Amino acid sequence: MSEQAPVAETISPTEEALELLQKRFKKTVRRDDREGYGGIVVDASRLEKVAAAIHDDLGYDYLSSATAVDYLGQGDHVEMVYHAYRIAGGPALVFKAQTPRDEAVLPTLTGVWPGVDFQEREAWDLMGIRFDGHPNLKRILMWEGFHGHPLRKDWHEPFFEEELKPFGSRWPDGHVQRSEEHNPYGKNVQYPAEWSPEAYESPAEPAIYDNINLGVDVRTDLATDRVIVSLGPQHPSTHGVFRMVVRLDGETIEGLEPVMGYLHRNHEKIGERNTFIQNMPYTDRLDYICSLSNNLGYAISIEQLMALGARYEPPTYRAEVIRVLMAELTRIVNHVWAIGFLLNDLGAFFTPMMYAVIERELILDFFEATTGSRMMCNYMRFGGVAADIPARIRGVANLINDRVRDMNTMDYLHSLIHERLPRAIDQLDEYLTTSEIMTNRCMGVGVLTRDDAIAYSAAGPVLRASGVPYDVRRAEPYSIYPDLDFDVAVRYHGDVYDRYLVRLDELRQSIRILKQVLPLLNDTDGQPVFTGRGVYSPRVPAGESYGRVENPKGELGFYVVSEGKQNPRRYHVRAPSFINLTALEQMCKGHKVADVVAILGSIDIVLGETDR
């Protein structure tokens, strides 16, 4: 099923909010008048009450993103930046709260928007903001014994070189040296004062188990029907190094806590040391199934900042057409992969996945011909794309008797979009939708109600399978999506089965979009695809931006703060894989252990994006 989601509003959310909030809260609410900034600033002491008014009275029922920013040397405070939306569509209301760095405390907003839970834990973990009243405030990406808060500007790792790239040590007199070479393994760690690894007892397990409130002593010599089971982080069903600590009464789940961070590499700290353009290939490594969509979200965020300057030129229409072509092909790549692996999780090992992967490989052939890579494409640029699509897709002979392909690219795309992909989608539908494996294991399992999906900030197919026709491409359109005819896929039961059906619906809507894009590629042939005048690393004007796209897994957002230099001051990723896990416990309660595997598979996470 599908619906036309509302189109974005044109009135300013800031003006509307200020009029109401200043009447009620007086001078504790003010406009953010910093150059290049927007939204409102709320006094920390009134943050919870103001947030409740924003939710209840102004109707901003969906909190998408919560970002912590360190302003060391610029007021010496840390700031929380919230992006709230109306689920009916329209732009964000951006509101902020500031607190001193040396005693960073803010009230939790989990009572207003439960979906901020993991995001507040992330802000505590990486930036050191304590949220009073949070139900489970502890580290989420770093290990419990970690020393310090690594996204603070004054935190440096043991092999710290310089604050910003490019590092001068990379080419002294042409002789490259790296600090890692001077910090041998075992010597490149730092410990808190009076701490040693030999005497350390991890607080991580007690922190998890105590919070689960088992209600009985955990003993190995006592038979009991109430037990704790750890699924992962090496379990094949967790799709990577991810762990679920499950409290069971017999086979029935009473509680569940996701444990993540095993793959965390401080992507955002790296991003704040890189130049703006150096971050583009790093976005490939987030959801590595969807590198081109990741590229697009980041490019839009930086282009919003560049638009604050006088010399900015937006991407050409052809560049936008190519961007949408790549984004929708990426959506198909992701969804066939997600459906194939969901069947793996249900026990239909490999056969459905291998059927799904055939067409995925054909799309990757086109990606490789255009970008030079099959997965880590690094293709979008600020002001367009790196290169036009090639006239022909050619192969090379690596071995004797290799068959070399040489095809016209437009003919290849036409065959793919009009014939191969629709046929493959119909085949998946025919084989899977009425299969007993799907219906018996998925119907009524992992139900997330409409209200809970909104409250927990769910996004993408997880949100739309719960009866919420919210899609960023319609709610706040970008690129050429306003010119295209497509529906927002939506289902209404909120279970594993409907999350599968929504992805199937979205595959068909992507084909519908791509059939409209092909003529636009012909019509714009010969137009430039890059307006950056050869400058790949411009000086981005000072200010803030939040660029977001409807990625296959949900809303992917990049909050970026620029100081007018070649490196961002703040670079934050609103990762749908991470935030969609907030509702995992709610989906799993009352079900069996085997159902957890199906429910997790229906969320469709990638750990590179979850942990960053």
253 and 246 in contact (C-beta within 8 Å)? Answer: yes
165 and 271 in contact (C-beta within 8 Å)? Answer: no
Cα atoms in the 13 Å half-sphere on the side-chain side of 598: 27
27 and 511 in contact (C-beta within 8 Å)? Answer: no
The chain-wide mean pLDDT, for the chain, equals 87
* 379-388 average pLDDT score: 92
The DSSP output letter for 530 is: B
Rounded Cα distance between 415 and 410, Å, is 9
Local confidence band at 210 (pLDDT 50, 70, 90 cut-offs): low
Tell me: the pLDDT tens digits for 583-610? 999 999 889 888 898 999 899 898 889 9
What is the SS3 assignment for 362? helix
H/E element holding 211? helix 204-212
Rounded Cα distance between 250 and 224, Å, is 9
Identity of residue 438: M
Tell me: the pLDDT tens digits for 339-356? 988 888 888 877 888 888
382 and 538 in contact (C-beta within 8 Å)? Answer: yes
What is the SS3 assignment for 4? coil
Tell me: the pLDDT tens digits for 385-412? 999 999 988 877 788 877 778 889 999 9
Rounded Cα distance between 97 and 101, Å, is 13
Question: Going from the N-terminus, what domains does the chain have, and what CATH number goes with each?
Answer: 27-161 (3.30.460.80), 205-259 (no CATH), 267-395+404-533+545-610 (1.10.645.10)
pTM: 0.89
Rounded Cα distance between 417 and 515, Å, is 7
* 23-41 average pLDDT score: 91
**What's the distance, CA 338 to chain centroid?**
16
* 370-379 average pLDDT score: 90
Per-residue pLDDT, 533: 66
Rounded Cα distance between 326 and 120, Å, is 33
Rounded Cα distance between 252 and 529, Å, is 56
562 and 74 in contact (C-beta within 8 Å)? Answer: no
- Among the listed residues 499, 494, 523, the one whose alpha carbon sits nearest the alpha carbon of residue 438: 499
Tell me: the pLDDT tens digits for 108-147? 999 999 999 999 999 999 999 999 999 999 899 988 778 8
Tell me: the pLDDT tens digits for 513-551? 999 999 999 999 989 999 876 566 777 899 999 999 999
- Kindly give, in sequence order, each residue whose CB lies less than 8 Å from that of residue 74, ignoring residues fewer than 6 positions away: none
Residue 224: exposed, middle, or buried by beta-carbon count in 10 A (0-12, 13-18, 19+)?
exposed
